[in-house]
Amino acid sequence: NGRTAMGFAVLRNNRRSASQWLGIIGLCLLFAGLRWNNLNAPLTPDEGEYACAAQSLERGLAPYNHVFMQKPPMILYSYAAADMLCPRVFWAPRLLSCLFVALATVLLGWMARREFGEGVAWPAVWLATAMIPLPALDQFEAGAEMFLLLPLLAAVALYVQGRHRGHLPRFCFAAAFLGVAAVLYKYTALPLLLFLW
């Protein structure tokens, strides 16, 4: 009788593991399916501005002196990093922004699971994957908003981790560093970070 109960427990765990893997594969397919067709589309005017400023940065020129820029500097560093990772690929920043969004989505799922349980984590991740590229937004542009998601959610995730472990001051420096990175992508992150602090 004990062996039978243990066999059912193993079978239940295997089913849950298989369903989790199917969920992860489905989520990856949805993420890629929503984005693959627009990766190598022509650059938008903002993306061209960022790419030009990033190329001047790579040549050792100060972007705000030699190229007109009205955005915070982190977007330039992201474009320069993408150009260094994939030289001569004009849509490399879009790949990098997709990576940032994917990691931010994973963090969102982790936080939802940590705060509300596994039953909330999967719907949160699926909804975020579908809602970030809404048609009315410039969702395929590798803009500051797409890069902003990762440091912003990482700062919130550190807060969640520190609050649950009871060691919140330990995580404050890393959360502050990530918060500054988020603000240097876009100033609109500041109210949320002030609320978090």
Q: Name the maximum alpha-carbon separation found in the chain.
A: 78
pLDDT at 138: 55
Residue 10: pLDDT above 50?
no
**Minimum mean pLDDT range among 41-55, 122-136, 158-172:** 158-172
Q: What is the mean pLDDT of residues 95-101?
A: 90
pLDDT above 90 as % of the chain = 18
Cα–Cα distance measured from residue 108 to residue 128, given in angstroms and rounded to the nearest whole number:
8
pLDDT at 109: 92
pTM over 0.85: no
Q: What is the mean pLDDT of residues 19-42?
A: 81
pLDDT at 11: 46
Cα–Cα distance measured from residue 115 to residue 112, given in angstroms and rounded to the nearest whole number:
5
Torsion over CA of 130, 132, 136 and 138, rounded to 10 degrees? Answer: -140
What lies within 8 Å, CB to CB, of 54 at 6+ separation is 63, 76, 77, 79, 80, 83
Q: What is the mean pLDDT of residues 153-178?
A: 81
What percentage of the chain's residues is helix, strand, coil (to nearest 5)? 80, 0, 20
pLDDT at 13: 56
